């Protein structure tokens, strides 16, 4: 299908630097039923995922976004003059996971979960905009309260916090580890 | 330790597995552990211990053995490792206390530690799943992530968080205090010079507006010196300060009978 709607939707996603939500598209395309827009988006996602394209449309952060395909990472990095895209340190990822699952949390609560002072990890995550300060807790010392940010969803390719690995998935990992030990 | 070598992705850049099998046994580097809980979990796994029924004495001994190789951990982290060592010993002491009746299950002194270990274990497991996601996402470049090629562009409007704002505020404060220091060092205003300047102005214009004059003063120091001078001039009856009404501006006049001006100079 090569409907005008699909081409319009593709243009809208193209100009968006952050995930374009269905609601935003609906607001622009007055009167077009949500189901039609959704169908056009789904088709675009399938089209761009196919071979023969360098970019793809991905569903992330609650909306849709253009991204390059993983296969071309090396060339893209060369263009951008980035030697190596830095992954989070284990301490950083651990801190982020603790916040993601227990939010809203304070620094003391995160440190208690990890058994390690997490102040500097929190600072790094703040600088990377993966977490944000949402207020202060009504507790002694009025400690700052942290949550994960929209950037966090984008960074891990999630559409919402409900897409974080579930209890079952985590239990499965632990089960596998146990099996590996036996 | 929860990251089995077999499952680590091939693009792993730093070895995450804390141990390497050697003929002498396990060689463990403490600095690869994220913290004391990480080390404890590693020991529990290695000794194939049931996490719900930890032999505290044995695990404490093992744990302390690792701490003895503390040459590799720094002092800050050492405190955290020692805290858990103390916790282990405390739990053991609680278990040794003679009791009239057997403890119910929920009264097991180990429960505090077990719950923390279980929670931490979950976070570690979640981490390995999140790491997989990160490894995929990191290869997909979004327009959003593309940094400018040359230098930092300040023109792009970005959404600021409270954190950003407060940080730039402190930066400004720092810069300002640096400026302030320079001003004070840079210009010396003497009372003598200022006095001559003021008398000069009064002779020429007979009057000046107190507030206006202060606002024109470049630095706090200059303003202070001016103020002293005006007080001095009023005291020595060279000038008179007049305020028409409460809260109105104050005008400083040269006194008509100020013969003492010359004398003063």
Give pLDDT, residue A92.
94
Share of chain B above pLDDT 70, in %: 61
Q: How far is CA B124 from CA A70, A114, B35, in A?
A: 26, 9, 12
- Over residues B126-167, the pLDDT tens digits come to 999 999 999 999 999 887 555 555 554 445 555 556 666 677
Minimal Cβ distance to B34: which of A56, A90, A176:
A90
CB B210 within 8 A of CB B251: yes
Give pLDDT, residue B118.
92
Residue showing tokens 């800050």 = B76
Terminal alpha carbon distance of chain A: 54
CB A98 within 8 A of CB A110: yes
Domain covering A4-73 in this structure, CATH number = 1.10.10.10
Superfamily of domain covering B191-264: Structural maintenance of chromosome 1. Chain E (1.10.10.580)
Q: How far apart are CA A96 and CA A121, in angstroms?
A: 9
Q: How far apart are CA A85 and CA A55, in angstroms?
A: 19
Query: Is A151 buried (19+), middle (13-18) or exposed (0-12) by CB count in 10 A?
Result: middle
Q: Which residue has the higher pLDDT, B6 or A132?
A: A132
Give pLDDT, residue B241.
76
Q: Which residue has the higher pLDDT, A5 or B208?
A: A5
- β-sheet with A105-106: strand ranges across: A105-106, A144-148, A131-136
Nearest C-alpha in B relative to A67: B142
Contacts of A97 in chain B (CB under 8 A): 123, 126-127, 130
Q: How far apart are CA A113 and CA B123, in angstroms?
A: 8
Boundaries of every domain in chain A = 4-73, 90-181
Q: How far apart are CA A167 and CA A71, in angstroms?
A: 32
Mean pLDDT calculated for residue range B22-40: 65
B150 close contact with A: CB closer than 8 A = no
The pLDDT-based confidence of A143 (bands split at 50, 70, 90) is very high
**Interface contact flag, A93 B6, Cβ < 8 Å:** no
Whole-structure pTM value: 0.64
Residue B49 has pLDDT above 50, yes or no: yes
Minimal Cβ distance to A165: which of B36, B126, B144:
B126
Boundaries of every domain in chain B = 5-144, 191-264
B159 close contact with A: CB closer than 8 A = no
By DSSP bridging, strand B25-28 and strand B19-22 are: antiparallel
**Interface contact flag, B143 A80, Cβ < 8 Å:** no
User: CATH number of A90-181: 3.90.1150.10, 1.10.10.10, 3.40.50.1980, 1.25.40.420?
Assistant: 1.10.10.10
Q: Which of A119-133, B17-31, B133-147, B182-196 has the highest mean pLDDT?
A: A119-133
B34 close contact with A: CB closer than 8 A = yes
Residue B50 has pLDDT above 50, yes or no: yes
Q: What is the mean pLDDT of chain B?
A: 72
Give pLDDT, residue B214.
72
SS3 content of chain A, % helix, strand, coil (to 5): 55, 15, 30
CB proximity list for A117: less than 8 A, separation 6 or greater: A111, B76, B80
Residue B261 has pLDDT above 50, yes or no: no
Minimal Cβ distance to B141: which of A67, A87, A90:
A67
The pLDDT-based confidence of A82 (bands split at 50, 70, 90) is confident
**Interface contact flag, B141 A17, Cβ < 8 Å:** no
Q: How far is A33 from chain B (nearest CA, A)?
A: 28
Give pLDDT, residue B25.
41
Q: Tell me which H or E stretch contains B246.
A: none
By DSSP bridging, strand B250-254 and strand A63-68 are: unpaired
Q: Which of A95-109, B74-88, B189-203, B217-231 has the highest mean pLDDT?
A: A95-109
Respond yes or no on whether ipTM tops 0.90.
no
Please tell me whether residue B217 adopts helix, strand or coil conformation: coil
């Amino acid at each position: 299908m090569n409907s005008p709607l699909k081409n319009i939707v593709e243009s809208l996603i193209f100009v968006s630097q952050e995930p374009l939500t269905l609601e935003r598209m609906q607001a622009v395309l007055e009167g077009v039923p949500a189901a039609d827009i959704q169908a056009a988006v789904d088709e675009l996602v399938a089209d761009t995922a196919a071979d023969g394209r360098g970019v793809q449309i991905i569903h992330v952060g609650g909306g849709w976004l253009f991204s390059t395909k993983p296969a071309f990472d090396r060339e893209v990095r060369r263009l951008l003059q980035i030697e190596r895209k830095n992954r989070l340190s284990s301490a950083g990822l651990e801190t982020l996971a603790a916040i993601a699952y227990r939010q809203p949390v304070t620094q003391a609560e995160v440190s208690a979960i990890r058994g390690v002072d997490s102040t500097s990890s929190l600072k790094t995550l703040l600088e990377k905009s993966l977490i944000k300060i949402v207020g202060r807790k009504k507790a002694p010392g009025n400690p700052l309260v942290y949550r994960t940010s929209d950037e966090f969803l984008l960074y891990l390719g999630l559409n919402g916090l409900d897409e974080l690995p579930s209890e079952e998935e985590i239990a499965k990992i632990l089960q596998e580890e146990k099996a590996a030990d036996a | 330790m929860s990251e089995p070598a077999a499952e680590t992705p091939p693009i792993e850049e730093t070895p995450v597995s804390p141990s390497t099998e050697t003929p002498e046994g396990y060689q463990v580097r403490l600095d690869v552990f994220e913290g004391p809980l990480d080390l404890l979990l590693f020991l529990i796994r290695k000794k194939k211990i049931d996490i719900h029924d930890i032999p505290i004495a044995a695990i404490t001994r093992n744990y302390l053995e690792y701490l003895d190789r503390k040459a590799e951990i720094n002092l800050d982290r050492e405190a955290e490792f020692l805290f858990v060592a103390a916790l282990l010993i405390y739990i053991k002491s609680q278990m040794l206390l003679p009791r009239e009746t057997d403890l119910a299950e929920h009264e097991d002194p180990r429960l505090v530690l077990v719950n923390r270990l279980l929670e931490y274990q979950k976070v570690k497991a979640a981490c390995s799943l999140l790491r997989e996601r990160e490894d995929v996402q990191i290869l997909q470049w979004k327009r959003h992530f593309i940094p400018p090629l040359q230098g930092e562009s300040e023109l792009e409007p970005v959404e600021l968080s409270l954190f950003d704002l407060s940080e730039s505020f402190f930066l400004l404060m720092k810069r300002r205090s640096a400026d302030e220091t320079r001003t004070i060092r840079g210009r010396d205003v003497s009372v003598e010079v200022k006095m001559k300047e003021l008398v000069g102005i009064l002779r020429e214009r007979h009057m000046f507006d107190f507030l206006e004059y202060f606002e024109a003063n470049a630095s706090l120091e200059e303003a202070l010196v001016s103020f002293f001078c005006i007080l001095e001039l009023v005291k020595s009856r060279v000038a008179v300060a007049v305020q028409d009404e409460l809260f109105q501006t104050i005008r400083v006049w040269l006194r008509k009978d100020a013969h003492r001006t010359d004398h003063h100079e």
